[in-house]
Chain A
Amino acid sequence: MVTLRIILLLFLILCAVAVSFSRRLLVSVSIYMAFSLALALIWLILESPDLAITEAAVGAGISSLYFIMLKKIRSIQTAADRQNDRRRGTPTGGGD
């Protein structure tokens, strides 16, 4: 059990660092989901299942959905979009 705990905590730190260093917003959102899932497992190990359920529903589910919605308001761009913008010289939205 102790090994599992250590692995999960290390995974948390890894995720937290990776979120801030990843360049693409969509990748950051996916890593954030993994972070929340690991955190939910840690809450479960720490015997607080209420928090674990809320973390899984809100952290891994809803907030990630909201972040993915950024695609709609053109904050998530693909490489092709950026090339298009550069060719036209008019950026269509906030970059990442």
Chain B
Amino acid sequence: MEKHRPKTEYSRRERFTRWCVGEYDPSAERLETRAPADEAARLELQRLQEYAANADRGIHHELYELGLRRRVGLFTRFYRVAAVLFALFLAGVLLLTVSYLPRFGDVSAPENNEVARRYIEKGLEETGAVNIVAGMILDYRAFDTFGESCVLFVAACCVLFLLRVDGQEDPRSQALEDMSDRFFEPRHDAILQMSARLLVPVITVFGIYVVLNGHLSPGGGFSGGAIIGSGLILYLTAFGFARTGRFMTEKLVKILTVSALSFYCAAKSYSFYTGANHLSSFITPGTPGAILSAGLIVYLNICVGIVVACTIYSFYVMFRKGGF
């Protein structure tokens, strides 16, 4: 930003005194606090909006025509019946599974006596995590957490499928996009940019701290990843897509997410190969309280944090613009 500032021969102090007197306005030509007021821009936006509405109507008409064709109609009917049958089948399987569970509140059920007691009594010894919650979700129940991360990944993929905007779009809807962007958000908002410059580093470092200390203090991959993601979104809102596009490309997000999930999967499937008993694992819990303790929990926390931060950022980008 320093480069773009108009060079004046005055020092900071002189500029301040001139600003107090009212001769000099630092925000002139740099700050748009409200939407451009000129009539031509408003009319242009209105014209583009009407064009977009017409295009929508055309698509609706085409879909209606398509629905009238016989084979499409047959397929739709078959699809409805199949969907109902599949839903019933799924409900049956789930209810059957539930019927095998022990009764709710049963005193002799394992989750009401041994499991909870063992987590609390032996948790520190077996997992090496001072934060007992991290020991539970990333060691005893690591597969649950793996499933949750995969759900996030699948959700991000679905949003990508649905909202992705192709590169070869017609220039008029692109123009509409830019115009409405400018209508809703002023560019070069000095207050937002300054606070982002101060806050984003602090937020990011705090998020990394929460992720890395997940096994020692409250927090962990999910909350730390959410904090890092919100820092990225703040940076994006303040400085625009041109700045964030330099480091957060679609390729980078893909590589990070997929490699984090694969590492998680590989790290946790070792218990399959060792007979699912964790006894012969060569990874030791280490000294409780040290940053590199608790076996794999630190690395799994980092993986979860990466997945969550990338997912949150790509959700925002997809909804805002339909692409990176």
Q: Is the CB of B230 within 8 A of A92?
A: no
Task: Known contacts A50-B131, A57-B227, A57-B230; decide if A69 and B219 are in contact (CB<8 Å).
Answer: no
Chain B interface size, as a band, is 20 to 34
Chain A interface, >50% SS class: helix
Q: Per a CB cutoff under 8 Å, which of A58, A66, A71, A72 touches B223?
A: A58
Q: Is the interface of B mostly helix, strand, loop or mixed?
A: helix
Tell me whether B320 is interfacial, beta carbon within 8 Å. yes
A57-B223 in contact given A52-B218, A65-B233 (Cβ < 8 Å): yes
Shortest beta-carbon distance from A46 to chain B in Å: 13
Q: Interface on A for B, CB 8 Å cutoff?
A: 49-50, 52-54, 56-58, 61-62, 65-66, 69, 71-73, 88, 90, 92
Decide: A69 and B316 in contact? CB cutoff 8 A: yes
CB distance from B199 to the nearest CB of A (A): 12
CB of B298 closer than 8 Å to a CB of A: no
* 15 other A-B residue contacts (CB within 8 Å) besides A50-B219, A54-B223, A72-B319: A49-B218, A49-B219, A50-B218, A50-B223, A53-B218, A53-B219, A56-B223, A57-B223, A57-B230, A58-B223, A62-B230, A65-B230, A66-B316, A69-B320, A73-B319
Could you pull out 22 A-B pairs where Cβ atoms are within 8 angstroms?
Answer: A49-B218, A50-B133, A50-B220, A50-B223, A53-B218, A53-B223, A54-B222, A57-B226, A57-B230, A58-B226, A61-B226, A61-B227, A62-B226, A65-B230, A65-B233, A66-B316, A69-B319, A69-B320, A72-B184, A72-B319, A90-B50, A92-B53
Residue in B53, B222, B315 whose beta carbon sits within 8 Å of that of A90 in the complex: B53
Which residues on A sit within 8 Å (CB–CB) of B220?
50
| Shortest CB distance B248–A (Å) | 16
Q: How far is the CB of A60 from chain B (nearest CB, A)?
A: 10
- B49 surroundings in chain A (CB, below 8 A): 92
A92 vs B176: C-alpha distance when bound (angstroms): 13
Interface bits B290-324 vs A (CB < 8 Å: 1, else 0):
00000000000000000000001001100110000
Contacts of A71 in B (CB 8 A): 184
Which residues of B does A touch, CB under 8 Å? Answer: 46, 49-50, 53, 131, 133, 180, 184, 210, 218-220, 222-223, 226-227, 229-230, 233, 312, 315-316, 319-320
Q: Which among B222, B226, B315 has the greatest number of chain A C-beta atoms within 10 A? A: B226
B223 contact set on A, CB distance < 8 A: 50, 53-54, 56-58
CA distance A84 to B207 in the complex (A): 43
CA A65 to CA B231, docked complex, whole Å? 11
Cβ–Cβ contact A62 & B312, under 8 A? yes
| A residues less than 8 Å from B319 (CB atoms) | 66, 69, 72-73
Closest to B131 in A: A50
> Which B residues are in CB contact (< 8 Å) with A50?
131, 133, 218-220, 223
